[in-house]
């Protein structure tokens, strides 16, 4: 009898010990940050895939910490898709980082509805006043209140391989007819004309958006999305038809619907395809990135999407602010978090131009900086832009964006007729 | 020891930790996802109770049933592939030269993470630079298909790495079971004049039938809830052609921001898997216990 009790007792002690050890570990982790304040910061530029971005962020954090010795930045880095997932999971359990990255418009809205992001009007109207390119901070506003500080500004353009173009006596097209002729010439010579990774779907959306912009005018798609125009508009159907025309002409690399954007990019960068429609976040690869051979960087040029049948304005762009910073509404160190976000935006504006070669959402004085020529050209284009249409999947709410993206893949795969393509959009929007 | 085991307290102490973990990490979330399925919830803002609406939508959702059909197809193919694994194991277990090395080679895919396997096979399937199409083109096929982009092919193309991934696991199980059969039985059969084929089909396979049943259940349940390679390789695309139930659930919850509906699909996935498992168990149930 005594033996039995002894064993039971021993077991219970053992289990309690295990529990106690587990708990004490957890306690130790928090103890270290007692003297100063810790701001948790999450971003989506891992060292591997976004080396320059990552480096700038580290520099900014170092600068901030040395200027504010009592504040520590606790950093977490995830890649794009994982970042989006984690942000959602954290928000369900109300554990958002104090400062993090968000996208504009449709992505932002549920977080604002849930009162998870802090209003940043005091910063935008205060120390950051007049610093942003007009139209960028507004994309982060819901009902007139700004909830995000934009970092990047991107426009989509067609990058092309000048060496391949020269080899076949081609020139950057000004009209859609010229573009089609180029596609034909390249195909006749066994060169894949356009690299497209449509597994990611937003890549194909860029093509549709530009065609809709050129055929139907720069406001049509935006109006259809906010339901002041109809998706049944013949111009939107025509744009969908044009997409399938391009597919029939073998414009895009083989198997594009199964390729990711990364794979398409590597085809373009390995000179296996002549053209690549992507936004200017890729500029460093063609200008400053030392990991890309100089010879290839020199051979890349870009042109704005051509006019279609004489319609459209080549200065109308698809694009928009990329990621921006949010501050968590429930943060315990909100003031420090806001300070950090504001500091980040300002220093980012200076460093991102020269070091990462991306276009910041803050105003840049191009004349005073020594910049690659392509960079200056893009900045000039931006200054002359007649219109900037925000990426369709960013404009739409998450539900509708999924329908749009799935439909894009079907349209390119010729599984859906142009008329059905637009009708499904209309249905999804009216069900919202 | 028997005395110890008859004490209820001791039993409780032994069972409690595992029970708590399973309860907190599995059963409570299961019930919760069923409950979330009753809500209209985007995962961020407040929930709104809408009764069975999500479940009714799901039952009428063509895309859901398509993905369920794809999952069932995967279950069918993994079950069929077990025959091949069994054949390989019988050969491996019969003391051929190098069987040890071969066994280890077959096990390698199991040691790789799913994402690594997916990346590997994305490269293999690449329509222009991929290994598969390069080989096909050198042996004379002029226009080999774009494996992951053709809606009619993509599902079966992905089945290949999924089945390949688990080959080693089942071969290992069968191998261990076959090695467990006493040598004396095989010896006796041989003396009685049984051919190697007869020994395999009449003696070895019946003797490991219980193990085979377990692997069938494992293969089917594993297939019905399968997610990893599909998510990384195609994300369920092009336009749902390779969508399975789990990837559809994920897409609804995380991409469409519809956690309520996603939870409902998740709960239906659980119910479907449960029903199929029960059916399989009933169908393969036998009363006799094997004794060597």
Inform me whether the pLDDT recorded for A305 exceeds 90.
Answer: yes
Verify whether the Cβ–Cβ distance B128 to A409 is below 8 Å. no
Q: Which residue has the higher pLDDT, A330 or A52?
A: A330
Verify whether the Cβ–Cβ distance B149 to A413 is below 8 Å. yes
CB burial of residue B288 (10 Å; 0-12, 13-18, 19+): exposed
Is A77 domain-assigned? yes
A50-65: b or e for each residue (b if 16 or more CB lie within 10 Å)?
A: bbbbbebbeebbeebb
d(CA A378, CA A366): 11
At A320 the pLDDT is 85
Is A359 domain-assigned? yes
At B291 the pLDDT is 59
Q: Which residue has the higher pLDDT, A158 or A379?
A: A158
Q: Are residues A393 and A257 in the same domain?
A: yes
Inform me whether the pLDDT recorded for B15 exceeds 70.
Answer: yes
Closest chain A residue to B257, measured at CA: A398
Q: Any residues with CB less than 8 A from the CB of B52 and at least 6 apart, and which?
A: B38
Q: Which residues of B touch A88 (CB under 8 A)?
A: 43-44, 254, 257
At A158 the pLDDT is 96
Q: Which residues of B touch A267 (CB under 8 A)?
A: 128-129
A227-262 pLDDT tens trace:
899 999 999 999 999 999 999 999 999 999 999 998
Least confident of A156-170, A179-193, B228-242: B228-242
A interface test, pick of B128, B130, B134, B161 with most A CB neighbours within 10 Å: B128
Is A234 domain-assigned? yes
Q: How confident is the model at residue A21 (pLDDT cuts 50, 70, 90)?
A: very low
Q: Are residues A303 and A175 in the same domain?
A: yes
Query: In chain A, how many domains are there?
Result: 2
Q: Which residue has the higher pLDDT, B117 or B129?
A: B117
How many Å is the Cα radius of gyration of chain B? 23
Q: How confident is the model at residue A30 (pLDDT cuts 50, 70, 90)?
A: very low
Inform me whether the pLDDT recorded for A2 exceeds 80.
Answer: no
Q: Are residues A266 and A408 in the same domain?
A: yes
A38-54 pLDDT tens trace:
999 999 988 877 778 88
First vs last C-alpha separation in chain A: 70
Inform me whether the pLDDT recorded for A19 exceeds 60.
Answer: no
Q: Are residues A335 and A314 in the same domain?
A: no
d(CA B95, CA A130): 80
CA angle B154, A85, B29 (to 5 degrees): 95
For residue A125, give the H/E element and its range. helix A121-125
Q: Any residues with CB less than 8 A from the CB of A275 and at least 6 apart, and which?
A: A158, A159, A160, A161, A193, A194, A195, A268
At A32 the pLDDT is 42
A interface test, pick of B257, B258, B263 with most A CB neighbours within 10 Å: B257
CATH number for the domain running over B62-283 = 1.10.3720.10
| Partners of A39 in beta bridges | A73
B36-55 pLDDT tens trace:
999 998 877 788 899 899 99
CB atoms within 10 A of CB A402: 20
Is A381 domain-assigned? no
Residue B240 zone, left/alpha/beta (φ > 0; ψ -120 to 50; rest): left
Q: State how far residue A6 is from chain B, nearest Cα, in angstroms.
A: 10
Q: Which residues of A touch B14 (CB under 8 A)?
A: 11
Q: Are residues A180 and A216 in the same domain?
A: yes
d(CA B42, CA B254): 9
Is A18 domain-assigned? no
Q: Are residues A346 and A393 in the same domain?
A: no
Least confident of A300-304, A375-379, B156-160, B182-186: A375-379
Mean pLDDT across the stretch A270-278?
94
Mean pLDDT across the stretch B92-99?
82
Q: Are residues A141 and A170 in the same domain?
A: no
Nearest to A318 by CA among A201, A171, A219: A219
Share of chain A above pLDDT 70, in %: 91
Question: Which residue reads 């937003």 in tokens?
Answer: A202
A interface test, pick of B238, B252, B256, B259 with most A CB neighbours within 10 Å: B238
A86-123 pLDDT tens trace:
998 898 888 899 999 998 888 888 899 888 999 999 88
At A26 the pLDDT is 41
At A243 the pLDDT is 95
At B41 the pLDDT is 87
CB atoms within 10 A of CB B151: 17
Q: Are residues A240 and A342 in the same domain?
A: no
Domain with A275 in it: 155-320+388-431
For residue A322, give the H/E element and its range. none
Is A9 domain-assigned? no
Q: How confident is the model at residue A22 (pLDDT cuts 50, 70, 90)?
A: very low
d(CA A422, CA A426): 6
Verify whether the Cβ–Cβ distance B44 to A113 is below 8 Å. yes
What ranges do the domains of chain B cover? 62-283
Nearest to A348 by CA among A59, A86, A30: A59
Q: Are residues A311 and A330 in the same domain?
A: no
Q: Which residues of A touch B240 (CB under 8 A)?
A: 406
| Partners of A275 in beta bridges | A160, A194
At A93 the pLDDT is 83
At A9 the pLDDT is 56
d(CA A141, CA A132): 13
- Indicate the average pLDDT of chain B: 90
> Chain A contact for B18, CB < 8 A?
no
Q: ipTM surpassing 0.90, yes or no?
A: no
Inform me whether the pLDDT recorded for A192 exceeds 90.
Answer: yes
Q: Which residue has the higher pLDDT, A203 or A381?
A: A203
d(CA A75, CA A157): 33
- Picking from B122, B128, B151, the nearest residue to A413 by CB comes out as B151
How many Å is the Cα radius of gyration of chain A? 25
Mean pLDDT across the stretch B97-111?
87
- Picking from A11, A110, A255, the nearest residue to B146 by CB comes out as A255
d(CA A155, CA A282): 10
What is the 3-class SS of chain B, one letter each residue?
CHHHHHCHHHHHHHHHHHHHHHHHHHHHHHHHHHHHCCEECCCCCCCEECCCHHHHHHHCCHHHHHHHHHHHHHHHHHHHHHHHHHHHHHHHHCCCCCHHHHHHHHHHHHHCCHHHHHHHHHHHHCCCCCHHHHHHHHCCCCCCCCCCCCCCCHHHHHHHHHHHHHHHHHHHHHHHHHHCCCHHHHHHHHHCCCCHHHHHHHHHHHHCHHHHHHHHHHHHHHHHCCCHHHHHHCCCCCCCCCCCHHHHHHHHHHHCCCHHHHHHHHHHHHHHHHHHHHHHHHHCCCCCCCCC
Q: Which residue has the higher pLDDT, B290 or A133?
A: A133
- Picking from B127, B235, B239, the nearest residue to A254 by CB comes out as B127
Inform me whether the pLDDT recorded for B78 exceeds 90.
Answer: yes
Contact A254, A137 (CB under 8 A): no
At A25 the pLDDT is 43
User: For chain B, what's the residue count?
Assistant: 292
E strand residue ranges, A192-290 = 192-195, 273-279
CATH classification of the domain holding A133 = 3.40.190.10
At A94 the pLDDT is 84
B182-220 pLDDT tens trace:
989 999 999 999 998 899 888 899 999 989 999 999 999
Mean pLDDT across the stretch B254-269?
90
At A18 the pLDDT is 52
Is A350 domain-assigned? yes
Q: Which residues of A touch B46 (CB under 8 A)?
A: 114
Verify whether the Cβ–Cβ distance A199 to B238 is below 8 Å. yes
Q: Helices marked H in A32-97 — which ranges?
A: 51-67, 80-92
Contact B159, B244 (CB under 8 A): no
Identify the three-state secondary structure at position A102. Answer: strand
Dihedral in degrees, nearest 10, Cα atoms B129, B135, B141, B142: 30
Closest chain B residue to A412, measured at CA: B238
Q: How confident is the model at residue A31 (pLDDT cuts 50, 70, 90)?
A: very low
Q: Are residues A189 and A310 in the same domain?
A: yes
Q: Are residues A236 and A353 in the same domain?
A: no
Inform me whether the pLDDT recorded for A80 exceeds 70.
Answer: yes
| Partners of A319 in beta bridges | A155, A390
Pick the most confident of A88-92, A325-329, A391-395.
A325-329
At A14 the pLDDT is 55
Verify whether the Cβ–Cβ distance A398 to B257 is below 8 Å. yes
A interface test, pick of B11, B14, B42, B233 with most A CB neighbours within 10 Å: B42
DSSP state of A364: -
Q: Which residues of B touch A254 (CB under 8 A)?
A: 127-128, 146
Q: Are residues A202 and A283 in the same domain?
A: yes
């Amino acid at each position: 009898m005594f033996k039995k009790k002894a064993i039971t007792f021993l077991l219970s002690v053992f289990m309690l010990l295990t529990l106690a050890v587990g708990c004490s570990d957890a306690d130790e982790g928090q103890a270290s940050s007692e003297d100063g304040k810790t701001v948790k910061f999450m971003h989506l530029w891992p060292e591997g895939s976004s080396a320059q971005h990552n480096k700038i962020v580290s520099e900014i954090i170092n600068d901030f910490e040395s200027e504010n010795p009592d504040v520590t930045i606790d950093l977490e880095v995830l890649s794009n898709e994982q970042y989006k997932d984690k942000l959602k999971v954290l928000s369900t359990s109300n554990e958002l980082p104090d400062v993090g990255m968000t996208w504009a418009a449709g992505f932002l809205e549920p977080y604002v509805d849930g009162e998870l992001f802090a209003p940043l009007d005091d910063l935008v109207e205060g120390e950051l006043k007049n610093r942003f390119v007009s139209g960028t901070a507004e994309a982060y506003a819901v009902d007139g209140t700004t909830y995000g500080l934009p970092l990047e500004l991107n426009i989509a353009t067609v990058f092309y391989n000048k060496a391949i173009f020269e080899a076949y006596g081609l020139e950057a097209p000004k009209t859609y007819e010229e573009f089609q002729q180029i596609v034909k010439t390249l195909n006749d010579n066994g060169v894949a004309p356009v690299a497209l990774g449509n597994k990611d779907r937003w890549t194909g959306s860029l093509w549709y958006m530009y065609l809709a912009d050129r055929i139907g005018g720069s406001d049509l798609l935006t109006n259809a999305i906010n339901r002041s125009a109809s998706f049944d508009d013949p111009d939107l159907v025509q744009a969908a038809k044009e997409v399938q025309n391009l597919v029939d002409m073998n414009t895009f690399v083989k198997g594009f619907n199964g390729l990711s954007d990364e794979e398409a990019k590597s085809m373009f960068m390995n000179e296996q395809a002549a053209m690549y429609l992507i936004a200017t976040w890729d500029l460093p690869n063609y200008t400053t990135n030392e990991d890309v051979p100089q010879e290839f960087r020199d051979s890349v040029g870009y042109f704005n999407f051509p006019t279609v049948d004489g319609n459209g304005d080549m200065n109308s762009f698809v694009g928009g602010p990329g990621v921006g910073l949010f501050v968590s509404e429930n943060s315990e160190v909100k003031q420090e978090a806001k300070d950090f976000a504001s500091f980040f935006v300002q220093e980012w504006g200076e460093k991102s131009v020269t070091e990462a070669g991306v276009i910041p959402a803050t105003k840049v004085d191009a004349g005073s900086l020594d910049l690659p020529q392509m960079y200056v050209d893009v900045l000039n284009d931006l200054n002359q832009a007649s219109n900037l249409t925000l990426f369709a999947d960013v404009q739409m709410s998450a539900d509708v964006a999924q329908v749009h993206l799935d439909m894009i893949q079907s349209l390119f795969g010729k599984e859906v007729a142009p008329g059905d393509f637009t009708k499904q959009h209309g249905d999804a929007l009216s069900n919202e | 020891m028997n005395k110890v085991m008859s004490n209820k307290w001791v039993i409780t102490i032994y069972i409690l930790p595992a029970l708590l973990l399973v309860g907190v990490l599995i059963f409570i979330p299961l019930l919760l996802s069923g409950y979330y399925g009753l809500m209209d919830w985007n995962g961020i803002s407040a929930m709104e109770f809408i009764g069975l609406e999500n479940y009714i939508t799901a039952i009428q959702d063509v895309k859901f049933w398509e993905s369920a059909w794809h999952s069932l197809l995967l279950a069918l193919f993994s079950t069929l592939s077990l025959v091949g694994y069994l054949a390989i194991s019988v050969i491996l277990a019969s003391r051929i030269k190098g069987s040890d090395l071969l066994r280890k080679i077959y096990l390698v895919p199991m040691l790789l993470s799913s994402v690594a396997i997916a990346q590997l096979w994305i490269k293999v399937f690449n329509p222009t630079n991929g290994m598969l199409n390069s080989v096909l083109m050198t042996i004379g096929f002029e226009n080999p298909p774009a494996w992951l982009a053709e809606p009619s092919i993509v599902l079966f193309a992905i089945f290949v790495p999924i089945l390949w991934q688990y080959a080693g696991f089942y071969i290992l199980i069968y191998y261990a079971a076959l090695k467990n059969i006493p040598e004396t039985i095989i010896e006796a059969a041989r003396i009685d004049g049984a051919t190697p084929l007869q020994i395999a089909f009449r003696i070895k396979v019946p003797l490991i039938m219980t193990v085979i049943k377990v692997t069938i259940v494992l293969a089917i349940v594993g297939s019905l809830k399968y997610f990893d390679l599909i998510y990384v390789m195609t994300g369920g695309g092009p336009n749902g052609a390779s969508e399975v139930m789990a990837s559809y659930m994920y897409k609804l919850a995380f991409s469409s921001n519809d956690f309520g509906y996603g939870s409902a699909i998740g709960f239906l996935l659980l119910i479907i898997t449960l029903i199929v498992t029960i059916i399989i168990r009933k169908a393969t149930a036998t009363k006799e216990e094997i004794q060597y």
